Structure 1
Amino acid sequence: MAITWKLDPTHSEIQFKVRHLMITTVTGYFKKFDVDVETVSDDFTSASRVQFTADVDSIDTNNTQRDTHLKSPDFFNAEEHGQITFAGRKYEGSGDEAQLHGDLTIRGITKPVTINVEFGGIVVDPYGQTKAGFTISGKISRKEFGLTWSAVTEAGQVVVSDDIKILGEIQLVKQG
């Protein structure tokens, strides 16, 4: 019998990091996202379904002008492609370290990606809920997903790097 795990949004976050002018890193978040997982047991290597969605309109880089630009057709084109999705195909690893292989879709373009997963463990919280925790990390090429906007300064510096680091803290709640 399948066990369903749902996101605990108050104890989870998804962020991305991108180099700006190749001298600093800008961090952004998706404030609205969801994760659903089905497993056969409390061992996540038995996951039969891992589904992630993020609402592009919830992007937040702590700068309204930049967020508006990121939602525009230059980047995510939120009006036509309102969600980013990831469908996990295979969770492999043992102990605390694993990799999750799946298909990431951004702007209607789907590519296979591998995400590093650090399993934090399973505990029962003070309210009797069984929770599992994960730290995820990975890197993608934004241009492979149609995020091709680019600019160069007068001195020849690239404004936005191609490599995007993805980081997340995910807490799941086992469903009764």
Structure 2
Amino acid sequence: MATQVDIPGYAAGTWVIDTARSNVSFQIRQFGVATRGRFTDFEGTIVTAENPLDSTVSTVIKTASVDTRNERRDTHLRKPELLSVEEHPTMTFTSTGIRADGGGLFVDGDLTVRGVTHPVTLTVDLDSVAGEPLERVTAHTEVSRKAFGVVGPLRVVVSDKVKVTLEIVVSKQG
């Protein structure tokens, strides 16, 4: 059993991502300049246990929903050498553990992109939304695109590191 942690306003239950109020975004450096994008089609569930450290998270993101505000770039990102959306229509994250460390909250889990799975750690910030049955969860991580086989033809001009930010609003079920 994990050590108990106290999170103000925390409630046990099953929570579903409110996609209209949530954002799954990324940032990568291309030609030395930050390029930002997001995924517009995703879903997920957070099951919060009595002890927050026993909770679970699972998400599914539709890779074809990539949106960088540039249709030509988005079409390129969907190709087989990058996201390969026809062969791999989804990417997933499934938590393997939640831990508190040094005043921070972290969600460890398995991220699968292009059929390749690697462990990642999300750094989490929690804010209660006063007076409403909603919770806001902000998390971020950094991953290697090459580790997941997202290489493409422009290896030199695009950085390996991708910053991922999740701004999630969930509503409690039942």
- Alignment deviations for residues 98-119 of structure 1 (CA, whole Å, 9 cap, x no partner): 1110000000000011111111
Q: Which amino acid aligns with 1:92?
A: R
Q: Which residue is 1:151 aligned to?
A: 154
Q: Is the 1:97–1:119 contact (alpha carbons within 8 Å) kept by the matching residues of 2?
A: no
* Structure-2 separation of matches of 1:72 and 1:7: 28
Q: Which residue is 1:163 aligned to?
A: 161
| Pair 1:167–1:122, CA change in 2 (3 A) | same
- Alignment deviations for residues 78-123 of structure 1 (CA, whole Å, 9 cap, x no partner): 0000001000111112797311100000000000111111111254
Can you give the 5+ residue segments of structure 2 that lack an aligned partner in the other structure?
1-11
| Pair 1:91–1:65, CA change in 2 (3 A) | same
How many residue pairs get matched?
163
- TM-score, normalised with respect to structure 1: 0.86
Q: Is the 1:96–1:118 contact (alpha carbons within 8 Å) kept by the matching residues of 2?
A: no
Q: Is the 1:150–1:159 contact (alpha carbons within 8 Å) kept by the matching residues of 2?
A: no
Q: Which residue is 1:39 aligned to?
A: 48
* Structure-2 separation of matches of 1:111 and 1:91: 17
Once the two structures are superposed, the pairs formed by residues 48-63 of structure 1 within 5 Å of their partners are 49-63=56-70
2:122 counterpart of 1:115: yes
* Structure-2 separation of matches of 1:35 and 1:122: 19
Q: Which secondary structure state, in structure 2, belongs to the residue aligned with residue 73 of structure 1?
A: coil
Q: Which residue is 1:65 aligned to?
A: 72
Q: Is the 1:150–1:160 contact (alpha carbons within 8 Å) kept by the matching residues of 2?
A: no
The alignment's C-alpha RMSD in Å is 1.8
1:141 to 140, 144, 151: 144
2:36 to 20, 27, 30: 27
Q: Which residue is 1:8 aligned to?
A: 18
Percentage identity across paired residues of the two chains:
34
- TM-score, normalised with respect to structure 2: 0.87
2:108 counterpart of 1:101: yes
- Alignment deviations for residues 138-160 of structure 1 (CA, whole Å, 9 cap, x no partner): 100000001122426xxxxx321
Q: Which amino acid aligns with 1:74?
A: E
